[in-house]
């Protein structure tokens, strides 16, 4: 009913019903259809048993299964025995449901940081004897540029029923990069915290994940230099394990070469193999596990006759 004001009855405005026969209806229908086509499809359900390794794609929040991981047998990794033993034990405990630490593998290029992560994951699953896709651990690689999507990834795997090693290779941050704050909050300081079924492993050439000039610049320009630097370098404190990798000496380099040569079945005399390995390292400017592997690949590729390959290699 209308209200009475100043002796006169006011009536409410009458809204005419929209006719379904209106000429606008076809246009509105086309607009609605167009909007439906523009809207992103809902993310597909994730099959966590599709593989033992996945790659996370922030666009679309997808986990792509990786049927065959590119890895080196853990027994072939030379010069990093201490780092191998520590990371392997930490990963075994995590696979068993025991407390485990996030790990930062930092140091010299080509010394097996990322290879060790993948080899340790494979070794733990192989020891369990589980079928593919049913190992105790799933490895999930996340690219550095997708770090801001980490909360969504954690939400996706939190109640999955599997345990996950999240792996970011070559992690570092530049002067104008604020992604480190997202990672720091997720690793420890967020409200929800890191799920009990997730551990985070990262490799980096930098111990504090920041370029040295970035830290020095904070010391020289900040109002409170100590607090500014602490804000930057405290990210690495979120990793309970710091595993350093350093340039190898010649004996370790030869051990790497010999191990890879044996794995590929090469039978070159040791003196000749080492002499050529030294020459190869000089042309590359350093000695490392990566350089040793590239050298052996080159030798094996040159031996088209097979005279220096063991039968069946």
- Residue 275, classified by CB atoms within 10 Å of its CB into exposed (0-12), middle (13-18) or buried (19+), is exposed
**Residue 207: inside a domain, yes or no?**
yes
186 and 285 belong to one structural domain: no
d(CA 99, CA 90) in angstroms, rounded, equals 9
Domain count, the chain: 2
In a domain, 4, yes or no: no
Q: pLDDT 10s per residue in the chain (313 long)? A: 555 555 555 666 655 555 555 667 787 788 877 877 776 666 667 888 999 999 999 988 999 999 999 998 999 999 999 999 999 999 999 999 999 999 999 999 999 999 999 999 999 999 998 888 889 999 999 999 999 999 999 999 999 989 999 999 999 877 666 677 778 777 865 666 788 999 999 999 888 776 655 555 555 554 455 555 566 667 788 899 999 999 999 999 999 999 999 999 998 999 999 999 999 999 999 999 999 999 999 999 886 555 454 544 3
Spatial separation of the C-alpha atoms in residues 35 and 118, rounded to whole Å: 43
Instruction: Report if residue 40 sits inside a domain.
Output: no
Identify whether residues 59 and 176 lie together within a single domain: yes
Does residue 9 sit within a domain?
no
Is beta strand 62-65 parallel, antiparallel or unpaired with respect to 137-141? Answer: unpaired
The range of the structural domain enclosing residue 292 comes to 250-302
Last-in-domain residue among 204, 220, 245: 245
Q: Distance between CA 21 and CA 39 in Å, rounded?
A: 28
Whether residue 182 sits in one domain with residue 88: yes
Q: Indicate the pTM of the whole model.
A: 0.78
- Identify whether residues 215 and 231 lie together within a single domain: yes
Predicted local confidence at residue 32, as pLDDT = 79
Same domain, yes or no: 290 and 189: no
Q: For residue 268, is it within any domain?
A: yes
Specify the CATH number for the domain of residue 149: 3.40.50.300
Residues 191 and 68 in one domain: yes
Q: Is residue 144 part of a domain?
A: yes
pLDDT attached to residue 37: 73
Q: Which of 245, 264, 286 is the last residue of a domain?
A: 245
Residue 260 lies in a domain: yes
38 lies in some domain:
no
Q: What is the pLDDT of residue 168?
A: 95
């Amino acid at each position: 009913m209308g209200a009475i004001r100043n002796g006169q009855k006011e009536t409410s405005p009458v809204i005419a019903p929209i006719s379904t026969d209106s000429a606008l209806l076809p246009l509105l229908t086309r607009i609605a259809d167009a909007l439906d086509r523009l809207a992103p499809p809902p993310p597909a359900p994730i099959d966590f048993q599709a593989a033992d390794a996945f790659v996370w794609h922030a666009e679309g929040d997808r986990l792509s299964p990786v049927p065959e991981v590119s890895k080196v047998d853990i027994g072939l990794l030379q010069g990093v025995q201490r780092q191998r033993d520590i990371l392997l034990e930490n990963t075994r405990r995590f696979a068993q449901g025991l407390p485990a630490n996030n790990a930062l593998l930092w140091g010299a290029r080509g010394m097996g940081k990322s290879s060790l992560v993948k080899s340790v994951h494979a070794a733990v699953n192989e020891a369990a004897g589980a079928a593919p896709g049913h190992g105790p651990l799933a490895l999930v690689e996340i690219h550095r540029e997708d770090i801001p999507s980490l909360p969504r990834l954690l939400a996706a795997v939190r109640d999955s029923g599997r345990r996950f090693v999240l792996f970011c290779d070559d992690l570092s941050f530049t002067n104008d990069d604020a992604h480190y704050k997202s990672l720091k909050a997720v690793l420890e300081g967020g409200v929800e915290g890191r799920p009990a079924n997730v551990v985070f492993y990262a490799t980096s050439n930098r111990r504090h994940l920041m370029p040295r000039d970035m830290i020095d610049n904070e010391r020289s320009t900040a109002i409170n230099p100590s607090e500014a630097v602490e804000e930057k370098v405290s990210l690495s404190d979120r990793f309970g394990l710091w595993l350093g990798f350093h340039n190898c000496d010649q004996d370790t380099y030869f051990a790497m070469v010999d191990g890879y040569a044996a794995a590929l079945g090469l039978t070159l005399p040791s003196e000749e193999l080492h002499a050529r390995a030294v020459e190869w390292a000089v042309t590359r400017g350093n000695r490392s596990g990566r350089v040793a592997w590239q050298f052996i690949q080159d030798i094996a590729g040159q031996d088209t006759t097979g005279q220096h390959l063991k039968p069946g290699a």
